[in-house]
Amino acid sequence: MARALLDTVETFTRLAGHNRVAMLLFRLGDRQGFGINVFKVREVLRRPRLERMPSMHALVAGSFDYRGSTIPVIDLAAAMGYPPLVSVDSAHLIVTEFNLSVQGFLVSDVDRIVHVDGSNMAAPPAALGYGPRVNAVTRLDGDLVAVVDVEQVLASVDPKVVEISDRVQQAAHVQQAGNRRLLVVDDSLVARTQLVDLFRKMDLECVVAKDGREGLDVLRTLAMGPADDRVTLVVSDIEMPLMDGYALTRAIREDAQLRHLKVLLHSSLSGVFNEAMVARVGADKFIAKFQPDILATAVLDLLPA
């Protein structure tokens, strides 16, 4: 069943660029459904034998050999507040690639792949109690599905320090002319924080938005105001609720007041990134998350001299 699920991924690649998200649905111990972007999934396996060291993080169930490489396995059930799955023989393992790294997540069972209209996804109300580890919710056949913010989970296990080299730092300080205001668009709080920290180290000012629709509203509002308040570069995630990065880029290119803006797409979808799609929607650059020096250099290249 798991192999059959992933064999259908190719069918869903046609959704890219049309504000539709292909998600792998799974459960963590009860009826509550969860989802993860299917393009981040490499494989679904039954729980393998795991090796664990006492010094491992509490959420790391262990490690195992995956196609010649040792990768960590995170107990996603435990991370989301459910009973741990580390000793449950019937558990499944979702092998993913995020931010140029490969890791596994233990889940109770895997359901199916579905495609969801991005406009039907929204940030979860605080009253639902998901906290920062869910960045969107939607309904399928009347049932609530929570989309896991995997970057938040990974950051809790292995926090990343935002650092740029002296060479890039100096280049940022030398290049002081022109508008140095950016719009950062990302539905992950962790990603937004990392980006803002990086750009502050480069003496760049940031405006932030949590999804493409909010980002487009911000751009249109700024375009009607003083010139000094406007931005010249948009740094956007690709996979987001309400409006994804592809749809945001298209909307920018179709708006006479905004089409001059530079757009850099910045996504954790490094393993299956579609160069043709980025060019088709009119983005200026793509950078895989999270490579501070490479991203910083690309931003300096796109900012007005």
**Are 221 and 255 part of one and the same domain?**
yes
Residue 18 and residue 150 in one domain: yes
Q: How far apart are CA 114 and CA 23, in angstroms?
A: 5
Question: Is residue 87 located within the same domain as residue 116?
Answer: yes
Best CA proximity match to 204, nearest among 234, 245, 238: 234
Whichever domain contains 196, its CATH number is 3.40.50.2300
- Name the domain boundary from 140, 157, 174: 157
Q: Which of 44, 38, 34, 41 is nearest to 16 (CA)?
A: 38
pLDDT at 91: 96
Q: Which of 294, 265, 22, 38 is nearest to 150 (CA)?
A: 38
Clarify whether residues 198 and 291 are in a common domain: yes
The pLDDT of residue 178 is 59
Rounded Cα distance between 154 and 115, Å, is 25
Q: Is the pTM of this model over 0.75?
A: yes
Q: Name the percent of the chain in helix, strand, coil, to the closest 5.
A: 35, 30, 35
Could you tell me if 143 and 15 lie in one domain? yes
What is the number of domains present in the chain?
2
Whether residue 54 is found in the same domain as residue 199: no
Domain range for 6: 2-157
Are 115 and 8 contained in the same domain? yes
Statement to judge: residues 173 and 58 lie in one domain: no
At a CB cut-off of 8 Å and minimum separation 6, what does 263 contact? 233, 234, 236, 248, 249, 252, 282, 283, 284, 285
DSSP string computed for 33-78: EEEEEGGGEEEEEE----B--TTS-TTEEEEEEETTEEEEEEEHHH
Among candidates 22, 61, 68, which has minimal Cα distance to 153? Answer: 61
Say yes or no: 232 and 171 in one domain.
yes
Q: What is the pLDDT of residue 245?
A: 92
Q: Are residues 152 and 208 in the same domain?
A: no
> How many angstroms from the chain centroid is the CA of residue 45?
23
CA distance 247 to 53: 44
Q: What is the pLDDT of residue 288?
A: 83
Question: Tens-of-pLDDT digits for all 305 residues of the chain?
Answer: 444 444 444 444 445 556 778 899 999 988 899 999 888 899 999 999 999 999 999 999 999 999 999 999 999 999 999 999 999 999 999 999 887 789 999 999 999 999 888 888 888 888 988 888 998 999 999 999 999 998 899 999 988 778 889 898 888 877 765 568 999 999 988 899 999 999 999 989 999 999 999 999 999 999 999 988 999 999 999 888 889 899 999 999 999 999 999 999 988 765 445 567 788 889 999 988 888 999 999 999 999 87
* pLDDT score for 221: 97
The pLDDT value recorded for residue 10 is 41
The reply to whether 200 and 106 lie within a common domain is no
Cis? peptide before 290, omega within 30° of 0: yes
Shared domain for 177 and 99, answered yes or no, is no
- Measured in degrees and rounded to the nearest 5, phi and psi for residue 52 equal -130, 135
Pairing of strands 143-148, 134-140: antiparallel
CATH number at residue 129: 2.40.50.180
